[in-house]
């Protein structure tokens, strides 16, 4: 492992440990704020379609945001993981619709759900800094996916993380 990869791995591990210790009331407050701010961002970016992640482990809950966006007439989607090294595919989905376990055992829309290219993507962050640098979970799915989407259209991306995930400097 290179020194850069080891440093990122150490930062990720420490941030995920801090995130796991957050009490339920802090998580609930964050989810409410995510709904408010997420709707405001969707309106600001005039997004006709929005993707967010299905929350696993200790991630912030995005399901209420997706529910509200859908109620506002915005198409909502979840990412579908392909093989390692491949970009994500976004498939239409609203909370309450069926899911299937994906390649990483994360709930995903059924394979027959229509694919779409979202205008706004809410992505999970393991670690971030104030300069806009981020560390995900190490597979690079969102990096590849956003690069491909942005080659085809204008796409806004918003990282979603608790403040305990902030690092002073994220190595790049």
Q: Let me know: does 50 contact 42? Beta carbons within 8 Å.
A: yes
Collect all residues with Cβ–Cβ distance below 8 Å to 94 and sequence separation of at least 6.
66, 67, 70, 76
User: Is the per-residue pLDDT at 16 higher than 70?
Assistant: yes
Handedness of CA 122, 77, 55, 136 (dihedral sign): negative
Residue 172: the pLDDT is: 81
- H/E stretch holding 80: strand 75-80
Q: Taking residues 28-38, what's their average pLDDT?
A: 97
Q: Has residue 151 got a pLDDT over 90?
A: yes
- pLDDT at residue 104 in the model: 82
Instruction: Give one DSSP letter per residue of 91-146, joined into a string.
Output: EE--TTS-EEE-TTS-EEE-TTSPB---SEEEEE-SEE-TTS-EE-SSS-HHHHHH
Higher pLDDT, 2 or 140: 140
Q: Which of the four pLDDT bands, split at 50, 70 and 90, describes residue 106?
A: very high
Mean pLDDT of 119-124: 97
Q: What share of the chain is helix, strand, coil (3-state, %, to 5)?
A: 35, 20, 45
The predicted structure's pLDDT at residue 171: 86
Answer yes or no: is pLDDT of 77 > 90: yes
Tell me what pLDDT residue 3 has.
Answer: 66
For residue 37, the model assigns a pLDDT of: 98
Whether residue 122 has pLDDT greater than 90: yes
Question: Does the global pTM surpass 0.85?
Answer: yes
The number of angstroms, rounded, from the C-alpha of 64 to the middle of its chain's C-alpha atoms is 14
Dist CA 48 CA 70 (whole Å): 10
Contacts of 25 (CB under 8 A, 6+ apart): none
């Amino acid at each position: 492992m290179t020194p850069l990869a080891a440093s990122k791995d150490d930062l990720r591990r420490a941030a995920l440990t801090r995130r796991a210790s957050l009490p339920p009331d802090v998580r609930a407050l964050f989810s409410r704020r995510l709904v408010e701010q997420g709707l405001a961002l969707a309106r600001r970016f005039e997004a006709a379609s929005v993707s967010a992640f299905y929350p696993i482990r200790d991630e912030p809950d995005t399901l209420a945001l997706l529910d509200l966006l859908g109620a506002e007439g915005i198409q909502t989607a979840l990412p579908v993981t392909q093989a390692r090294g491949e970009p994500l595919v976004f498939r239409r989905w609203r909370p309450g619709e069926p899911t299937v376990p994906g390649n990483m055992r994360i709930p995903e829309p059924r394979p027959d759900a229509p694919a779409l290219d979202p205008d706004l993507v809410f992505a999970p962050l393991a670690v971030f800094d104030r300069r806009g640098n981020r560390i995900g979970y190490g597979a690079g799915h969102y990096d590849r996916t956003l690069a491909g989407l942005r080659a085809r259209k204008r796409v806004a991306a918003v990282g979603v993380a608790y403040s305990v995930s902030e690092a002073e400097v994220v190595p790049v």
